[in-house]
Amino acid sequence: MAARGVQVNKANTDKVFDRINLIFWVIVLVAILYPLWLIIVASVSEPDAVMMGKALLWPVGFSWTGYQAVFQHKQLISSYANSIFYTVSGSAISVAVTMMAAYALTRKFKGKKGVNLYIIITMFFSGGLIPQFLMNRTLGLYNTVLIMIIINGVSVWNLMVARTYISSAVPNELYEAAAIDGADHFIYFFRIVLPLSGTIIAVLAVYYGVARWNDYFTALVYIRDRAKLPLQTILREVIATLTTSTSDADFFSAYANDSHAISEAIRRAQVAKYCCIVVSTVPTVALYMLMQKYFVKGVLIGSLKG
């Protein structure tokens, strides 16, 4: 093993390895980023160029018409506001409830085993869509704003990650020191645990926030009122259906009396689909970018003990 020639060979193998690895990642990055780039390019190109499939690398004939159409689409704007409201209030509640329960589960108390079991069971058994639907309807949650905020409120997985994080980030000595001053659990939680849990709170906020912002199934099942619909449901009408006629109608309803304006609006609606994608995705990606530095650390500490 220690012979010189072998050493040199090994250094060479490593160089080859690095080169292959580099090529591999260039391919992966292009595969991931090109479709995203294509969406952005199409969203600011001339509608005709997009429809001909010409805007493949750079915007062709820069224009904002698609974005103008998006911002004139009343239902889209109000659903956007709904989504912001559902996401912010829902995630705030989820994070708070998760953190409180996670802290409690790091401490010793009578009945803790039972509580753990009670929570874990829900990971393996569930009522299923239909019993869940019937129960929520019986509770009067059907077609309410409330269901959009509290359904999917606590994820067991997130709860476990938060619990592991708290038990490793908060040393026992801190509790003992505070106990001497007569602290109780509320004081531990608010004065000691929360100030030390910035990382995991950020991670939870992103997990819950993104899931809520992107959720379209809940509204599909529970919401009938168009005024309460979240963004994703409207987006589906605009971009994710093969038949574009109904969604396009919203884009050109304003010009209903002018046939020239209608054809212009239909043309615009094609590009508007790309603009919708950009406008709806910016918040989640921005949130991720802001919180990025917390992720690996949060997951690392949270997963230590599984």
Q: Which of 57, 68, 74, 107 binds another protein (CB under 8 A)?
A: 107
User: Does 246 contact another protein by CB under 8 A?
Assistant: no
Per-residue interface string for the shown chain with another protein, residues 1-40, x marking contact by CB under 8 A? xx---xx--x--xx--xx--x--xx--xx-xxx-xx-xx-
Residue 199 neighbours by CB distance under 10 Å? 20
Nearest to residue 278, comparing CAs of 21, 66, 7, 127? 66
One-letter identity of residue 182? G
Instruction: Figure out which of the listed residues 37, 236, 249, 255 binds another protein, where binding follows CB under 8 A.
Output: 236
Residues 136-195 that bind another protein (CB under 8 A): 136, 139, 150-151, 153-154, 159, 175, 179, 184-186, 189
242 near another protein, rule: CB under 8 A: yes
Instruction: Find, among 120, 223, 110, 226, the residue nearest to 163 by Cα.
Output: 120
Question: For another protein, which is the closer residue by CB, 239 or 254?
Answer: 239
Q: How far is the CB of 186 from another protein (least distance, A)?
A: 6
Which residue, 184 or 259, is less far from another protein as judged by CB?
184
- Out of 58, 113, 125, 224, which residue is the one contacting another protein (CB under 8 A)? 125
Residue 53-92 contact track with another protein, rule CB under 8 A, x = bound: x--x------------------------------------
Candidates 231, 247, 284; CA nearest to 80 is 231
Of 123 and 256, CB closest to another protein = 123
Show the DSSP H helices in the chain as ranges: 4-43, 47-51, 65-72, 74-106, 112-124, 129-138, 145-150, 156-169, 172-180, 185-187, 194-196, 198-214, 217-222, 231-239, 245-252, 259-291, 295-303
270 near 245, Cβ under 8 Å?
no
